[in-house]
Amino acid sequence: MTVHEQAAGFVLDALGPDEAREFEHHLRLCPDCEEELEPLRVAAVALAFAGELPLPRQELRRRVVGGEGVAVPFRPRRAPLVAAATLAAACAALAVGLGRGAHDRRLALQLPPAPAGKVYEIWFLRGTRAVPAGFAHAGRNVVRHVPRGAAVAVTLEPRGGSRRPTGRLLLRAETA
Amino acid sequence: MFTVRDFTPRQTDVERGARGRLAHLSDEALLALASRSDESALGELYDRYGRVAYGLALRVVRDRALAEDAVQEAFLAVWRSAGAFLAEQGKPSTWILTLVHRRAVDLVRREERRRADPLEDVEPPTGEATDEEAWLRAQRQVVQEALRKLPPEQREAIELAYYGGFTQSELAEKLGQPLGTIKSRMFAGLKRLRELLAEAGLEVDAP
């Protein structure tokens, strides 16, 4: 098995991190490989069409494209400072970057593991309304499109998430 | 030499007309608009590929919230990298679904979820007799038929890798085979799959 023949594993995303890096390096030096890759990639992507395709929730489109969302009432609880300090002690870091266009407003989160049975849920806040904006996972950067003029909050919710914030407000960041 | 160049969902003019002003544009044109921060172009790309993207992500991560995360992050990458992608060759739909798959695999590996378990209660969509439904059903049949024609051990390696998110090394262990055997099966299987799909008529761009 030559590195050239790793093309199948590469397009199926089945290489380990080191192998994938090695193959990407090889690709830059091997025009034949690059040419060979695209048809294999198309064949791999065809596999996406082989299963049932349930309709995604409408809300996903709003998350992707950055619309207004379905607003639900939001009643923030007190003591965000205490919670923020707790998270800081656990190496949490929050940064909100502003850039051109709504999609360049992003939230970078570095979170400690959530307690058992809980998930971090992200909310976009506008006035007194909160729009569920997905989940954050421990230890990885989460990037979200933040709508113009919205603030961002993170709460701990029961596994599976909530339709409206019920847990303690852990973080709140203004973007504008 | 077979080449498979196209796997783009087709829409009738009626469906296109029912959508926004961008529905008549090619994927490449939409990417060009998206690279200049046109959000409606991103929305149109989502309307074309969001359903397949979500179905793929859900099959890999087996969790609705994680699947949505994978799709959202992939489209964010589309938004950011549209301009760079346009400089390369290749179909936008292939690129988008490649991004979705990679995100889904990253998530499922990070979560260390049990993979390749049966997916619970994914209800097939109610059979609306739209052209999109008919088109998707036809694609599904073609791909499933091609998969059935693969030697079982090649099919197994491909399906566990693509849908289960297993690396080749993990598969070697799981299946009790040498790593080289797994790699050979994957390579031979994917090449054969490409040929079978081409034979089934997926090698030409339809008008």
Given a contact cutoff of 8 angstroms between Cβ atoms, the answer to whether B163 and A47 are in contact is yes
* Structural domains of chain B in order of their starting residue, each with its CATH number: 1-122 (1.10.1740.10), 129-207 (1.10.10.10)
A9 and B168 within 8 Å at the Cβ level: the answer is: yes
**Does residue B117 carry a pLDDT above 60?**
no
Of the two residues B9 and B86, the one the predictor is more confident about is B86
Residues within 8 A of A (CB atoms), B 24-63 only: 37, 39-40, 42-43, 46-47, 50-56, 58-59
Q: Which fold has domain A58-174?
A: Immunoglobulin-like (2.60.40)
Q: What is the mean pLDDT of residues A107-131?
A: 75
d(CA A155, CA B137): 41
Cβ-defined contacts of B169-175 (< 8 Å, 24+): B169/A16, B171/A14
Q: Where are the domains of chain A?
A: 3-49, 58-174
Gap from B144 CA to chain A (nearest CA, Å): 6
Instruction: Round the CA-based radius of gyration of chain B to a whole number and report it.
Output: 18
A12 and B158 within 8 Å at the Cβ level: the answer is: yes
Cβ-defined contacts of B72-77 (< 8 Å, 24+): B72/A60, B72/A63, B72/A64, B72/A134, B72/A144, B72/A145, B73/A143, B73/B103, B74/B99, B74/B100, B74/B102, B74/B103, B75/A64, B75/B42, B75/B45, B75/B46, B75/B50, B76/A64, B76/A103, B76/A143, B76/A145, B77/B103
pLDDT tens for residues A17-72?
999 999 988 888 887 777 788 889 999 999 999 988 899 998 899 888 864 333 33
pLDDT of B167 reads 95
ipTM: 0.84
For testing contact with chain A, the best of B76, B140, B184, B203 (most A CBs within 10 A): B76
Residue A28: Cβ within 10 Å count: 9
**Does residue B205 carry a pLDDT above 70?**
no
Given a contact cutoff of 8 angstroms between Cβ atoms, the answer to whether A6 and A40 are in contact is no
Residues within 8 A of A (CB atoms), B 139-178 only: 139-140, 143-144, 146-147, 158-159, 161-163, 165-169, 171
A173: CB partners within 8 A, 6+ apart: A94, A96, A107, A151, A152, A153
A60 and B58 within 8 Å at the Cβ level: the answer is: no
Nearest CB to A42; choose among B7, B56, B75: B7
Q: What is the mean pLDDT of residues A96-108?
A: 44
Read off the pTM.
Answer: 0.67
pLDDT of B22 reads 82
B183 and A101 within 8 Å at the Cβ level: the answer is: no
pLDDT of B115 reads 55
| Residue in the structure block whose two tokens are 């909050």 | A153
B68 and A56 within 8 Å at the Cβ level: the answer is: yes
B186 and A15 within 8 Å at the Cβ level: the answer is: no
pLDDT of B36 reads 83
B186 and A14 within 8 Å at the Cβ level: the answer is: yes
Given a contact cutoff of 8 angstroms between Cβ atoms, the answer to whether A168 and A155 are in contact is yes
pLDDT tens for residues A128-143?
777 778 887 766 545 4
Which of the four pLDDT bands, split at 50, 70 and 90, describes residue B19?
Answer: low
Which of the four pLDDT bands, split at 50, 70 and 90, describes residue A95?
Answer: very low
